[in-house]
Amino acid sequence: KAGVTQTPRYLIKTRGQQVTLSCSPISGHRSVSWYQQTPGQGLQFLFEYFSETQRNKGNFPGRFSGRQFSNSRSEMNVSTLELGDSALYLCASRPAGTAGTGELFFGEGSRLTVL
Amino acid sequence: AQSVTQLGSHVSVSEGALVLLRCNYSSSVPPYLFWYVQYPNQGLQLLLKYTSAATLVKGINGFEAEFKKSETSFHLTKPSAHMSDAAEYFCAVSEPQYGNKLVFGAGTILRVKS
């Protein structure tokens, strides 16, 4: 069974640009969560989607947004990039029947560098 | 509110020695607790989880953790370290009322010396 797939793995942008990251969950998983990982702030929850609906949102500015498609694939978008947005963005999916348990399967991440 | 504290940002052990990584949590209700491992340039992999069943939880790669409610702790141990255990380890907590949101500790980098 293929794992969580994130694309692109690495990307470089400049301040003020926008970026879109993609995540394909494990087949059959309908919930997708996104996390930001930085050396200073560690791992922080961005948002969770289930059946194309945002179920939970972390404490990030409105420049960070996401969506989920009918095939459970998800994208997140960051507009007007700032230097501080440089991070590893991790996507995770969970199996059916694990609602509330927090058990997640993570992808390898998309490493964004903002210059 | 949930929070997780990992004591020691870096831990160094010799190959074959006991590994002990400390985790304390704060939660208003019995939580679910997790340990994840991250190898360089990779995502997080679940090592083990506590979901209110047995307090001693066994995970992959010989790791185990014990949930101690009185100490609000969930320390990770492995009897004998292997070079391949060198990685960063994260303790995390979730509460059902917050859905699947995980709150992570700051992480502990484990170094294994030959």
| Interface membership of B90 toward A (CB under 8 Å) | yes
- Number of DSSP helices (H) and strands (E) in chain B, helices first: 0, 11
Residue-wise pLDDT tens digits, A3-61? 999 999 999 999 999 999 999 999 999 999 999 999 999 999 999 999 999 998 999 99
List phi, psi (to 5°) of B43: -80, -165
> Cβ separation of A56 and B98 shorter than 8 Å?
yes
How many CB atoms within 10 Å of residue B65?
26
Which residues of chain A are within 8 Å of residue B42 when distances are taken between CB atoms? 108-109
Nearest to A94 among B41, B98, B100 (CB): B100
Give the integer Cα–Cα distance in Å for B16 and B24. 25
Quote the CA–CA distance of B54 and B108 in Å, as a whole number: 25
pLDDT tens column, B15-36: 999 999 999 998 777 788 999 9
A48 touches chain B (CB under 8 A): yes
pLDDT number for residue B29:
73
For B69-105, how does the pLDDT look when each residue is reduced to its tens digit (9 = 90+)? 899 999 999 999 999 999 999 999 987 777 778 999 9
Six token digits for residue A52: 């194309």
Amino acid at A24: S
